[in-house]
Structure 1
């Protein structure tokens, strides 16, 4: 007798090539979804439009174009794989963080007043900047549209970042750009008095340069435009290598402690050009000097020299100014050396060069924000992933190099929280003050936030009023001061020529200054500059 056989069951073969591929796809989708969701802070509102309120976080994990409103205290995070392209509205005190692999390209961002920290990719087309905005870039950041800057703003491009301005750029309202990475202006650059560019990376301006602000170059700056005007206002300080491909006209005081090269004629109209160490060199194709050139470095002129004022060293011996040719006119303490070698950006090594290096922080911080009011500086920032952080030390400086501790806060968050921090400082100094956060990890390692710049001292508190406009013979300039101090008023024509200047001591509160006898001025456009302490505002006038 045959032994009974067990019942026969149909066996499905799920491991066909097609089914195997399908299972892998399902597994990948599940795992990928879990991985993406895990990167969002706990309790996040994921890929959803609407209003995000204080304490809430919007997290973008994929392509999303919905409209989002960020209120004070709200946070937006775009993680790896996220791509935000919607309409964005922000209130002061909100924060945006773009992680590596994330993309942030809002279609509009009117009255942008959030802090933005980027480690991924940012493309800004249409934006207007308002009070409270602060930007720190450690990834790729492109200003594709015009920069409509309505208030003071600090932009920090770290040593790991690349930032590009595609359109012609106008800096005003005491704006500050701190660059330690690669900073490109694809067209022209105009800067107003009171603005600052502090460069520790590589700065390139492809178009014309028209500067009245401070340019502090500590590494490499290249200007390729055909028209370069350095107007009366602040100054230029060069510690590294600064190269102009074509001619330059300058009026303010300038200090060079590195290599300053002009491919065309360098016209110095007023003030002084100083070469402040023995390694410093001014190398130009031609020199038209109407001011003072002085120092203990070297002057190399490949073409002709017109000396209408004075060219001199600081003294004898090592304090002489070395030149490659004889110079007529008023001179003193010169060492004429026909064998002087022209400085070259390939072989020249500036002794005062101060470049920054790219260091990726293991702990994430939003951009540091700072607001000065009533003699106090309010500092705010947000920290993420803090389980290995011990403390945050608030530091300040007057020269962006030597810092002093203002106070310390202990870290209170963990890996799954976005924790806001705030600190109020009453600086004992006035003028320009630099702030940063020193972050100390549990293992003792130290990291630094972006640097922000605050103009302390007197402040123009309310909107300045100038009337009538258009004007005929007289102007009334009304402004409100935070405290008593000196007020300076200057009227310029469309060509930048100073027409009238007034100065008087103002009282705390509302002040009105009259400017009269203007009937003889030609019809046209004029610019009125109002300055109180470190704060400057401009009004466009018509006659």
Structure 2
């Protein structure tokens, strides 16, 4: 018992030391109680100003000497202003409400920042371990550095200037239609998650992705290297343009919902899974400097048009739902494989075909999926090309598949229709909340063999508030399988304008809401940023009570609750 008491006392001691050491060794201290508008300027090199206490600060701080610093305590609501040169340091543990902010100083954020525009100035640096929200733009200027271990959100644009360096170990998000620009010679390393708007990589820029990356439209003259080997590593919900000198190398799967235009550059996928590359629209290759290399299977929902460039299938196959069109002056193969496979359809299947030279396709299996019997008469193929029966590649032909929100019955309906089935065993319905990690909801038996239209349905009786992703996995009798495209379904959580209230009474944390918010993640932090409690919870009847395993020490705590579309943050005091 004595050891336990001593350990608790030691923990309390270090917690207290940590709180007070946040803003220590101060040359001038502004103590806030209620509201304080005291302004102060540094008076010599190495001068440190500390803002401590508890309350709202509305004054101004000026740091114009060498190695000056300001420290903002954890209980401070900072609504003032800071002027700092590039030799200064700003450290924030509290809540900062800024207008448009730009600085080349060294900025360390351990708390919360909200601004109407945030810029890390040229050659400046920002280390973020807390939360930064910009209601407009977020910019890392030329030669500046951003290290993000927390959360950064920008509404209208996120810009990385030339020669800048960004390392993301946390979460970075920009608006769906916002711009995400990476300047020449800039380097972005993503180890966390990034959900961006319209992405533009300039020549010489580099993205090294080890985490998850999603984007709206994607345009590149730079280098994109994906080292995440997951089948859902990259998701682009829009159109893609590759230009000369660009490279896109991926060890994981890539899904693009729109059209892809390759007017130059190299695309190489070493992922050997079934869905190495999914393109919802058309793929157009328009320049002889374009090279596409695939080790896994690809599916193109529209047309594959080649008027320049080359595609090599290193053991993978390509399903072209529309027309395969090749019209080039190339004297050698435009699309080539690793050798025909005797009818297993591991080359290219297409809805229709038009090619100008017989030798533009070599060492491939080919199949007309609209009329397999017509494959041999479609075109005059090279001697190395083998025609095959598409049924081995396409065991099920889908007419359509969709999801629908049913608010009356509080569920999401997943529906699909097939026009023919061959050796089909069953369907699995899968769901994801992030578009990357899917799990099985249930399964539905298939007809097996059918040439008639069959209607199927499945109900998700536990819909996710906000955005959820669904897909159907069709499994053949021999165990082979294929996926439909991902379907996105919004299920309104009816929480527009919802407010969270948080109190602590006799050691119990009480949350209450004025509207139904459903499931989410509850997090409780100490003022020093340490996680005290984290758990997925369901708010029932607008309230939730938490009795921590260990009593909460006296002090200020940060309560965060997040669901799919919303997040709430409150401070609570434990006496």
State the match for 1:273 in structure 2: 267
Larger relative contact order (C-alpha < 8 A, sep ≥ 6)? 1
Q: Does the alignment pair 1:167 with 2:161?
A: no
Listed as ranges, the matches of 1:234-245 within 5 Å are 234-235=223-224, 237=226, 239=228, 241-245=233-237
Deviation of residue 321 (structure 1)? 12
Partner Cα separation in structure 1 for residue 213 and residue 364 of structure 2:
29
Q: Pick from 346, 349, 354 the counterpart of residue 325 of structure 1.
A: 349
Once the two structures are superposed, what CA deviation does each residue of 1:202-240 show, in whole Å capped at 9, x if it has no partner?
Answer: 21124x33332322222211223xxx2423244454635
The 3 A distance-change label for structure 1 pair 35 and 237 is closer
- Distance in 2 between the 1:95 and 1:234 partners? 33
Distance 2:242 2:313 in 1: 21
Matched, 1:288 2:279: no
- Give the conservation status (yes or no) of the 8 Å contact 1:66–1:87: yes
TM-superposed deviation, 1:167: 2.0
Asked if the contact 2:142/2:160 (under 8 Å) is kept, the reply is no
Are the aligned partners of 1:301 and 1:324 in contact in 2 as well (CA < 8 Å)?
no
Give the match for residue 260 of structure 1. Answer: 254
Partners of 2:18 and 2:130 lie apart in 1 by: 22
Is 2:339–2:364's contact at 8 Å kept on the other side of the alignment? no
Which of 219, 223, 228 is the equivalent residue of 2:215? 223
Using the alignment, how far apart are the partners of 1:346 and 1:143 within structure 2? 28
2:86 matches 1:92: yes
Match of 2:199 among 205, 209, 218: 209
Partner of 2:28: 45
Aligned residue pairs: how many?
314
Counterpart CA distance in 2 for 1:44 and 1:243 is 51
> Would the aligned equivalents of 2:119 and 2:141 in 1 still touch at CA under 8 Å?
yes
CA distance in 2, matches of 1:248, 1:321: 28
**2:69 aligned partner:** 75
2:59 aligned to which of 62, 66, 70: 66
* Residue-by-residue CA offset, 1:340-379 (whole Å, 9 max, x unaligned): 999983449xxxxxxxxx9x99999xxxxxxxxxxxxxxx
C-alpha separation in 2, matches of 1:215 and 1:261? 17
Contact 2:143–2:163, Cα closer than 8 Å, also in 1 = yes
Over 3 Å counting, the alpha-carbon distance change for 1:50 and 1:324 in structure 2 is farther
2:393 counterpart (324, 332, 338): 338
Change over 3 Å in CA distance of 1:273–1:109 after alignment to 2 = closer
1:154 matches 2:145: yes
**Residues 130 and 295 from structure 1, CA distance in 2 versus in 1: closer, same or farther, beyond 3 angstroms?**
same
1:73, distance to aligned residue in structure 2 (A): 1.6
Look up the SS of the partner of 2:258 in the other structure: strand
Aligned to 1:454: none
Deviations 1:128-174 (A, max 9, x none): 5434411111111112343465532111211xx11101222333232
Shift of 1:264: 1.5
Show the counterpart of 2:302.
303
Contact preservation (8 Å) 2:340, 2:364: no
CA RMSD of aligned residues (A): 4.0
Q: Is the 8 A contact 2:227 2:251 kept in 1?
A: yes
The residue matched to 1:325 in structure 2 has which SS? strand
Say if 1:323 and 1:340, in contact at 8 Å, map to a contact too: no
State which drifts further: 122-131 or 326-335: 326-335
Aligned counterparts of 1:363 and 1:35: Cα–Cα separation in 2: 7
Q: Is the 8 A contact 1:126 1:146 kept in 2?
A: yes
Counterparts of 1:35 and 1:221, CA distance in 2: 35
TM-score, normalised on structure 1? Answer: 0.50
Q: Residue 167 of structure 2 aligns with which residue?
A: 178
Structure 1's 181 and 328: CA in aligned 2 closer, same or farther, altered over 3 A? farther
8 Å contact kept, 1:137–1:157: yes
Residue 125 of structure 2 is aligned to residue 134 of structure 1: yes
Distance 1:39 1:281, change over 3 A: closer
Deviation at 1:196, TM superposition (A): 2.6
CA contact (8 A) 1:275 1:298 kept: no
User: 5+ unaligned residues in a row in structure 2: which ranges?
Assistant: 1-15, 31-37, 315-336, 367-391, 399-429, 440-522, 530-575
Cα 1:232–1:282 change in 2 (3 A) is same
Indicate if the aligned counterparts of 2:117 and 2:136 stay in contact, CA closer than 8 A. yes
- The whole-number CA distance in structure 2 between the counterparts of 1:236 and 1:144 is 30
Distance 2:84 2:128 in 1: 19
Q: Which residue of 2 aligns with 1:119?
A: 110
1: CA distance, partners of 2:363 / 2:99: 61
Q: Per residue, is there more strand in 1 or in 2?
A: 2
| Counterpart position of 1:392 | none
Provide the rounded CA distance (Å) in 2 between the counterparts of 1:122 and 1:59: 16
Cα distance in 2 between the residues matched to 1:146 and 1:41? 33
Q: Are 1:300 and 1:323, in contact at CA under 8 Å, matched by a contact in 2?
A: no
